[in-house]
Amino acid sequence: MSVETQKETLGFQTEVKQLLHLMIHSLYSNKEIFLRELISNASDAVDKLRFEALSKPELLEGGAELKIRVSYDKDAKTVTLEDNGIGMSREEAVTHLGTIAKSGTADFMKNLSGDQKKDSHLIGQFGVGFYSAFIVADKVEVFSRRAGLDASEGVHWASKGEGEFEIATIDKADRGTRIVLHLKSGEDEFADGWRLRNIIKKYSDHIALPIELPKEQTAAEGEEKPAEEWETVNRASALWTRPRTEIKDEEYQEFYKHIGHDYENPLSWSHNKVEGKLEYSSLLYVPARAPFDLYQREAPKGLKLYVQRVFVMDQAESFLPLYLRFIKGVVDSNDLSLNVSREILQKDPIIDSMKSALTKRVLDMLEKLAKNEPEQYKSFWKNFGQVMKEGPAEDFANKEKIAGLLRFASTQGSDAEQVVSLAEYLARAKEGQDKIYYLTGEKYEAVKDSPHLEVFRKKGIEVLLLTDRIDEWLMSYLTEFDGKSFVDVARGDLDLGNLDSEEEKKEAEEVAKSKEGLVERIKASLGDAVSEVRVSHRLTDSPAILAIGEQDLGMQMRQILEASGQKVPDSKPIFEFNPAHPLIEKLDGEQSEERFGDLSHILFDQAALAAGDSLKDPAAYVRRLNKLLVELSV
């Protein structure tokens, strides 16, 4: 064995200690996943070597046959996994094996459910796969040397998972990494060729790299044991390059779990080979659940990029728009240069063509899911609906297609569940209805009983209820669908068009004319608090309401801007009143201007509260209301 130098003992990061505690104390029942995780790491190491060797072929050190080897020793009770990938320097070993990204570990801990089967599969998703070795081992040794470094710059890392690890410099002739697991008492089952072979076939058959095991050989008594021979136990061919007819659903699902670091099967996938002007293969997946960093737009995302089956980039962002950042998969192109970089990707016209085609492929996949598996799509929408709502602003070319995939709550539903598509809304629209009506608000409870909906309830017209923070911003980009324009029922002067009869329109005009004097009195009383006062066409039961000007920001957008520290443009609401309401009739007959002013301000503040807004002067509202109550009790 090589002489060890510069040996030192270091402590694990706090988060690693917590993680190791979980591993060592056998939280997980599905112990075999340790091999899946270590093989995935080895595969990544080989991919990284391939990529770096494109510009530095000397890194291959004359050995271009890349592979992973798994061996075992029943007597010593060890399992060894070896790759000839990129390897690690001493500094990298300390960094990669002694620390974990805090956010990833915190989310890992938070996501533990107590379901041992599910929890075991969380390991890979949060970048903590290496530590799964401690599920079956009471000591783990790592021997590694980074490609390109001198043989004397190898590194030996060892730990018993008890809060610290040893690291030393050694001689290592070959590049790459060898991991030796010293199995715990009772875990001897893994020092067995048949057991290891089955685990590899189950979890890692799709790895596009030979995974070799020693051939089972026996020698006759008195004969010398033959030299060790190795055999490949996985298919070792890229899944996406094989014909779809030859691939089982289980293989597609296992491959997704490998690239997505997920324990659940995907909701859907699409496997395509494109030939002609452009040549590429793609395998795209829709996950069943959202990743922990979905709403961090700066978080790494994108497809795995291969060029002529050579791995080039782990998260190539250029092939899908940002609103589809949850899609997992691979794209393998014959038309790109092997020395492609992120900068080149952003400028290459071939990428634009591929991005357009892949985006349509994903949207078609989602359309198919919505049509054929409505319950599955409902689950998809709960996880990814808010991200999909970014689409109309980002992807003008597919705006109509994206709009068809959106789902909303509506006045026809009994709860806040977003299940109504725009196509369904239009299919049950009233005869003569040429608009899609919607109302935005902070909470479903606030909008479902909003006074803005009164005339719509009276006439049986469905209104979409939009309560996600992004909705008002979305509707500023989504102006029409299927030739029908969207109308915010709280904005501007409501015009129901053909849904109002000529008699109703004429009657409304006459009432408005007869109340011109009251309009002027209220306007004089409220002064600068409002931009306009008018007779309402929206109300049937409430006395008054506040409408938003056509060009003014709604409450959602104002709150978003305020929260981000941006200046919010000044705007004043429109005060509308219901002339048939007893309170308005009483106000109209009030002779005292002081009392008239108090009543007008009380109605204004109540309308603001009904709209979900906060009062600018709550003390004045309480004072006026108390004054009125005293007068009524006298």
Binding residues for ATP are 37, 41, 83, 88, 102-104, 125-130, 177, 342
Total Cβ atoms within 10 A of residue 513: 9
CA distances, 408 to each of 385, 425, 429, 437 (Å): 10, 10, 15, 12
Beta bridge partners of 164: 11
**What is the signed CA dihedral for 41, 47, 52, 53, rounded to 10 degrees?**
130
CB 77 within 8 A of CB 182: yes
Q: Helices then strands (H, E): number in the chain? A: 22, 22
- Report the C-alpha gap between 322 and 305 in whole angstroms: 17
Q: What does the angle CA 544 – CA 548 – CA 550 come to, to the nearest 5 degrees?
A: 140
Nearest residue to 124 (alpha-carbon basis) of 323, 27, 264 = 264
Q: Which residues of 5-42 are buried (b: 16+ CB within 10 A; e: fewer)?
A: eeeeeeebeebbeebbebbbeeebeebbbbbbbbbbbb
- Report the C-alpha gap between 627 and 629 in whole angstroms: 5
Contacts of residue 327, defined as CB under 8 A and 6 or more positions apart, other chains included, come to 284, 285, 286, 303, 320, 362
CA distances, 46 to each of 25, 83, 210 (Å): 32, 7, 11
Total Cβ atoms within 10 A of residue 605: 23
SS (H, E, C) 482-526: CCEEEEECCECCCCCHHHCCHHHHHHHHHHHHHCHHHHHHHHHHH
The residue written with tokens 């989310």 in the block is 107
- Report the C-alpha gap between 620 and 597 in whole angstroms: 12
- Report the C-alpha gap between 225 and 221 in whole angstroms: 10
Residues in binding site:
37, 41, 83, 88, 102-104, 125-130, 177, 342
- Report the C-alpha gap between 143 and 155 in whole angstroms: 6
Furthest-apart CA atoms within the chain: distance in Å: 122
**What is the signed CA dihedral for 555, 559, 562, 564, rounded to 10 degrees?**
-140
- Report the C-alpha gap between 376 and 364 in whole angstroms: 15
